[in-house]
Amino acid sequence: MINFKGPKSHKFAESPLLKLRLPSWRSRLMALLILACFAVLIGRSFYLQVLNNDFLQEKGESRYRRELEISASRGRISDRHGDVLAISTPTKSIWAIPADARLTPPQIKQLADLLEMDTKELSRKLSTEKNFVFLRRQLSPEVGDRVAALKLPGIGQDKEYRRYYPTGEMTAHMVGFTDVDDKGREGIELAYQKQLLGYPGSRSVIKDRRGQIVEDVGSIRLPQDGHDIRLALDSKIQYLAYSQLKQSVIDNKAKAGGVVVLDAKSGEILALANWPTYNPNNRERLNGAQLRNRALTDTYEPGSVMKPFTVALALDQTKVRFNTVIDCAPGKLTIGTATISDAHQHGALTVAQVIQKSSNVGTAKISRMLLPHQMWDMFNAVGFGQTSQLGFPGEVSGRLRPWKSWRPIEQATMSYGHGISVSLMQMARAYSVFARDGDMVPLTLTKLDTLPTGTTQVFTQQAAHEVRAMLELAVLPGGTAPKAQVPGYRVAGKTGTAYKVEGGRYAKKYVASFVGFAPASDPRLIVAVMIDEPGGLQHFGGDVAGPVFANVMSGALRTLGIPPDLPLRAETNQPAVKLAQKPSAPFPAAAKGHL
């Protein structure tokens, strides 16, 4: 046996390498670094979970918690008596999350039938790459319940409101309408958008990965419904204006028309009607002609309805008196290269007869006694060339050129309503100076509880009352508007028949109008009528617009219970207006030449 003696063996733990000692500072450094890392992690954890846990909370809730909007009900619109003109009704809008809406063909067919959609259209919406899509909006709650009963994945619904207009096309231009998002687009709905809209609320819910609500956490903010608006409009008078205007436009084969009814005492707008009109409950096929609120957005040359303003200014300036004689023969007046003509030849007429007979020549001669800036100041004071500050969308100011640019012929033509453009609302308001004591009150769309106190004096009381007497003559036999008479009531008003301007020139198309008020003894209502392009046998204001005025005024006075005042005039058959000045003698022959 061979005995091999090698090197002496050592245990592993006794390896010389392990016996080497590292510097003590290195081990301490490593221990400190490890402790520092733990401290940072603990601090960060404490910061995120205790001091500032909003971030993690937000990230967590974003995966399962949602805030849903709670729609607010839009405020109601009613007339002065509380009759509803616009109200919001609850509806359901059906939506889908396309990624989760994996429907079988039978389910698509069933849903399409409920939504009254084509299956191809529904399939196209469900196959879109969008995260959210509306399938149908503003459906009846019954349809929404039937859709919910199907329990289709990825299909949900929200509560919304749809605007309903009980009076339909009768008040369409006054009330207006809203779009599918419940925002005002026309009329009062747009003008009072902020007051009517309200503020939506919200509630917090928990949804699963398919978007289905599994838990209602609670309400975060309650909705605030919009404020109700009570208009000055009277539905009964509005119906009278609408129906009479519609019939007149049809009978006279006219293009369009408008009617405005004002309360002379308060400035409240009791009726505003236009034709053509539209049904705000069905707006699928609307065009601009239907939507135009012609009484506020369209202008026209008023014609002879302007003559009383020129005469009133001349009375105020003591240039003429009630019975001052104006030589209107031979029915023509040449100024420069232009000639003004009357529809019928007249000889010598008093100022009152100039209004009664509607003489262009007589009015033009009266205007030559006035300075241009005086006429401009008066036109501006009664509201021409500026909006009526109603806040109504689309309201226009009309056209009133600066007086410094007027030529003599232009001053003359403006005195009888040519070369100036106005809206029907402006003309109705301007006539309040004659229905009142020469002053004006602001117009208002909403009902007033008390009569306004701030008035603007335009003419003296005497001048206003004298012109009122002249306007009474215009509707009596011998005047231009006997068809505007109202049985049982004294009426005052003026006709207008003017050519339309097209392409900068006068075309043989007419605008027939009549503006007046009643009862003349103590005026309460002002009615302005405009018929655009009458195409029948008649085109004069007295024949076309006068009957509309008479029918609307008659019904409105009886609706308001205004007592008749015709017996006051029955005994004398003359306007019962007491004049403060004695009628003047006719102008001497030497003075007639320059009138």
Which residues are designated catalytic? Answer: 304
The 3-state secondary structure of 314-363, one letter per residue: HHHCCCCCCCCEEECCCCEEEECCEEEECCCCCCEEEHHHHHHHCCHHHH
Helix-then-strand count for the chain, H and E: 23, 19
330: cis peptide before it, omega within 30°? yes
The CA-to-CA distance between both ends of the chain, in Å, stands at 166
User: Cβ(148)–Cβ(157) under 8 Å?
Assistant: yes
- The enclosing H or E element of 56 equals helix 54-61
Q: Is the dihedral of CA 274, 279, 283, 284 positive or negative?
A: negative
- Supply 368's token pair: 């030559």
Nearest-10 Cα torsion for 331, 336, 338, 340? -20
The overall longest dimension of the chain from CA atoms, in Å, is 177
What is the number of other CB atoms lying within 10 angstroms of the CB of residue 253? 11
Judged by DSSP in three states, 255 sits in: coil
Which candidate, 557, 550, 556, places its Cα nearest to that of 247?
550
User: Cβ(392)–Cβ(233) under 8 Å?
Assistant: no
- Supply 277's token pair: 């009109």
Which candidate, 266, 352, 232, 242, places its Cα nearest to that of 526?
266
How far is residue 124's CA from residue 126's CA, in Å, rounded to a whole number? 5
Judged by DSSP in three states, 377 sits in: helix
Alpha-carbon separation of residue 378 from 312, 389, 415, 445 (angstroms): 10, 18, 11, 25
Question: Mind giving me the DSSP string for 97-154?
Answer: -TTT----HHHHHHHHHHHT--HHHHHHHHT-S-S-EEEEEEE-HHHHHHHHHH--TT
For residue 483, give the DSSP letter.
G
How far is residue 76's CA from residue 543's CA, in Å, rounded to a whole number? 40
Burial of 148 per CB tally in 10 Å (0-12, 13-18, 19+): middle
Q: What one-letter code names the amino acid at 91? A: T
What is the number of other CB atoms lying within 10 angstroms of the CB of residue 334? 10
How far is residue 298's CA from residue 394's CA, in Å, rounded to a whole number? 9
Q: What one-letter code names the amino acid at 556? A: A
519: cis peptide before it, omega within 30°? yes
Mention every residue, 6+ apart, whose C-beta is less than 8 A from residue 28. Answer: none
User: Cβ(265)–Cβ(451) under 8 Å?
Assistant: yes
User: Cβ(464)–Cβ(436) under 8 Å?
Assistant: yes
At 98, give phi and psi (nearest 5°): -55, -35
Judged by DSSP in three states, 269 sits in: strand
